[in-house]
Amino acid sequence: MNVIETTALGRRYGSTWALRDCTLAVPEGRLVALVGPNGAGKSTLLNLVMGLTSPTAGGVTVLGDLAAGSIAALDGIGFVAQDMPLYRGLSVADMLHLTRNLNRQFDDAYAHRRLADFGIDLKQKVGKLSGGQRAQLALTLALARHPKLLVLDEPTAPLDPLARHDFMATVMTAMADDGVSVVLSSHLLAELERVADHLVLISEGRVRIDGAVDELVAQHRVLVTQAGRESSPPDWEVIESSSVGSQTTQLVRLPSADTPLPFGAEARTVGIEELAMAYLRSGVRLSAPTLTGASR
Amino acid sequence: MTVDKAISGESSAIEFRLDPSSGVPTYLQLVQQVERALRLGSLQPGDQLPKVREVVAGLAINPNTVLKAYRELEHKGLASGRPGMGTFIEASLDPVTLPELAGLRRSLRRWLDGASEAGLDEDGIVALVVSTLRDFPQRRADAEQGDEHAQGAGGAA
C-alpha cells in the first residue's frame, strides 16, 4: 500500500504555481523525509495531502485509495503542524479533554501514560510548558488517535538537541510498536541521515528526488578527476560540478549501482545530507562553482 | 566526536553507540559493533541482541535500520531471529582466546613503544597502521600464492 500517491498534482495561487506536476508514490512503513528550501512547495504538498487545500491540477490519494481530506482519510492520519497549534491558555488536562471530544478515536490511557513518562503535569497550563514538553504534547495528541500515517511539518526546528532526540525517539518507537508510517518535513539534513529511509526533495515547486535512501546512496558518487583524464561518460547525470586547478569534482548519478567507474577517477559514496545539498544547490543554480571544492 | 547515549538493554550483553560523524551508514555501525564484540568475546553464542524497540528508543533511529542490521547479521550466519523472542547470537567470529588476546596486546604495546621512540606521534601511528592494514590482504594473498608456487616446484622436482 502507498500511504501517499499523487499524480501530476499541482496547486496554483494566483499566477504562481506553489507545486506543479508532482507525481509521487510513498510506500507504507517508511519514514519519508521531505526536504527543500523555504517556499519550495513542501507545506503546500502536506496541506494537499491533509485535504486542507484542494488541487488546481492532478490528484492525491492517501492510505491506499482514500480521497485526501475525506473523513476516513483524516481518521487514519495524525498531523502535527509547523507551529504546533495548542491552546496555550488551557491546562494539559483540558487540552486532552478537548482533543478527545474532537476526534472519533482517541486512546486516553495511552495519552496519559505518555505524558506521565515525560513528567508533564496535567494541571500545568500549556503555555507554561517547555518547548520540548509542548512538542511531546502535540505529538502525543496526534499519536493517541493511533494513526496509520503521521505527518510532521518541521516539528523539531525550535527544539534543543536533547528535546529533539527525545521527540524523534518517540516517533521511532511509534514506528516500531504500531508500524505507523511517517512523513517528516525538515531542514535539519544531518538529523535525517539516521531516521529517514525514503527521501523526497522538492525545489521550485517540482520533485527532484523521490526514492529509497539506500538506493539513492548506491546510485550517487562523488568523482574526482584530474585534467586530461577521461571524464564521466555523457549518459551520466552530473548533479554538481566544480573545478579547482586541474582537478574536477563531480557529484554524478550512475545509470545503475554497479556501473564501472572511469579509469583514473577517485570515487566515494555520499550521505543523504551531501546528496540533498547538491540537488538543492543545483536547483537554485547558485553561481558559486567552488562551493563543493571549498567544503571538502 | 559525538557519541549518543548508549542503550542499557537489561537482557543484552551489548550496548550500541553511534558516531554520526564517522560517515559509516548507521546499520553498518550496528553490524560492526556486534562483530567487534564477537571478536573480543564480549558477545557469545546464545546471547540476545537488544530488542529493536530498545535500540530505537535509545538512539532515536529508524526501526528499519535496526532490522536491516539484524538481517545482515543473520545473512552472515552470526545471528538468528526467534519469532516472538528476539535475535540471538548463533556463531562466534574468529575466536581468539583471552590469553592469545592478552599476548597480542602486549606485543602491540611493545611496538607502540618502539614507534613512539622513533618519533611517531598518535596521528602518525594511526596513519601507518591504516596504510599497512590496507595492503595486508594483498600481501597475504601474494604470500599464499608464493607458497603454492614453491610447493608446485617442489612436487615437480
Tens place of pLDDT per residue across chain A (296 aa): 899 999 999 999 999 999 999 999 999 999 999 998 888 889 899 999 999 999 999 999 999 999 999 999 999 999 998 777 889 999 999 999 999 999 888 999 999 999 999 899 999 999 999 989 999 999 999 999 999 999 999 888 888 889 999 999 999 999 999 999 999 998 888 888 889 999 999 988 888 889 998 888 888 888 887 766 555 566 678 888 888 888 888 888 887 777 777 766 778 888 888 899 888 888 644 333 322 223 32
Q: Given this model, what pLDDT does residue A39 score?
A: 81
Nearest chain A residue (CA) to B20: A194
Beta strands (DSSP E) in A115-272 are 149-153, 181-185, 198-203, 206-212, 220-226, 237-244, 247-253, 266-268
Write down the pLDDT at residue A100: 92
What pTM, to 2 d.p., does this model score? Answer: 0.77
Confirm or reject contact between A135 and chain B (CB < 8 A): no
**Nearest CA to CA, how far is A170 from chain B (Å)?**
7
pLDDT in the model for residue A225: 79
B57 vs A173, A196, A197: nearest CB = A173
Residue of A162, A172, A181 to mutate, testing the B interface (most B Cβ within 10 Å of its Cβ): A172
Angle at B54 between CA B51 and CA B58, to 5 degrees: 150
Contact A194 B61 (CB under 8 A): yes
Partner-chain contact A29 B64, CB within 8 Å = yes
How far B88 CA lies from chain A's nearest CA (Å)? 19
- Measure CB to CB from residue B62 to each of A31, A190, A271 and give the nearest one: A31
CB proximity A190 to B under 8 Å: yes
The C-alpha atoms of residue A40 and residue B68 are separated, in whole angstroms, by: 32
Q: Nearest CB to B57: which of A30, A169, A190?
A: A169
Nearest CA in chain B to A218: B25
Q: Tally A–B CB contacts below 8 A.
A: 51
Interface residues of B toward A, Cβ cutoff 8 Å, are: 4, 18, 20, 23, 25-26, 52-53, 56-65
- Which of B20, B23, B62 shows the shortest C-beta gap to A197? B62
Nearest by CB to B62, from A166, A172, A190: name it: A172
Cell numbers placing A23: 507525481
* Angstroms from A11 CA to nearest CA on chain B: 32
Cβ–Cβ gap A165/B52 under 8 Å: no
Residues of A in contact with B57 (CB under 8 A): 169, 172-173, 176
Residue A224 Cα distances to A62, A249, A266, B58, B129, angstroms:
43, 5, 5, 38, 25
Q: Hey, which bits of A88-233 come out as E strands?
A: 149-153, 181-185, 198-203, 206-212, 220-226
Residues 207-246, chain A: which have Cβ within 8 Å of B?
Answer: 217
Confidence at residue B62, expressed as pLDDT on a 0 to 100 scale: 94
In chain A, residues with a C-beta closer than 8 Å to the C-beta of B65 are 194, 197
Predicted local distance difference test score (pLDDT) of residue A143: 95
**Once rounded to an integer, what is the mean pLDDT over residues B44-48?**
90
